[in-house]
Amino acid sequence: MSEGFKPRGLIRTLILLSLYRGKRHGYGIMEDVERITGKKPSAGEVYPFLQRLEREGYVRVEKDRTGRRKVYELTDAGRLLVEDTIERMSGIIEAIVESKLTVCANCGVKIYEGGVEVEVEGRKLVFCCEYCAANYLAKRGIVEAVLRPRGAGRRHDREEHRPRA
């Protein structure tokens, strides 16, 4: 088994996730991949990778009951590999979501959706709610500003984020 083995690419990750669900024939793995990507992977994308996983000790291969077709199953090391992969992927997805997040200019709360936009001195500011916007503007003595909704719905209740002032 090689240290730090990491599956590269979406197809390989999906192959591992398919195996994580249980024993699979090669075609079952291909179907699982197709269900997610909408495209059946080629044998060349699947079988060499499965062979490599077997060589590295992550997958065990048996013959099925017909004795003709191979069944692939993750070993304990394989399960750990998949769990590690899932963890790393969640980290990546979190970072992507995080990078799309906006923070309220008044209270600093993360805004996943909604909130209000205010044009202040040519700058666009975003707030979690109109209370935060009003609070921010009041603190700076700005009397006139146009508040626009930033999108439909608010992530949190306005009671929770009442301005501190």
Binding-site ranges for Zn ion (CB under 5 A):
104, 106-107, 109, 128, 132, 161
Alpha-carbon dihedral of residues 61, 65, 69, 71, nearest 10 degrees? Answer: -30
Q: Least distance in Å: CB of 100 to Zn ion?
A: 18
Cα distances (angstroms) measured from residue 81 to each of 72, 87, 131: 15, 10, 48
Cβ-based nearer residue to Zn ion, 118 or 132: 132
Cβ-based nearer residue to Zn ion, 19 or 128: 128
Q: Least distance in Å: CB of 155 to Zn ion?
A: 11
Return the SS3 of 144: coil
Q: Least distance in Å: CB of 114 to Zn ion?
A: 11
Cβ-based nearer residue to Zn ion, 69 or 158: 158
Dihedral sign computed on CA atoms, order 1, 33, 95, 162: negative
Cα distances (angstroms) measured from residue 63 to each of 10, 59, 66, 72: 27, 13, 8, 9
Q: Least distance in Å: CB of 129 to Zn ion?
A: 6
Q: What is the DSSP letter of 42?
A: P
Cβ-based nearer residue to Zn ion, 79 or 155: 155
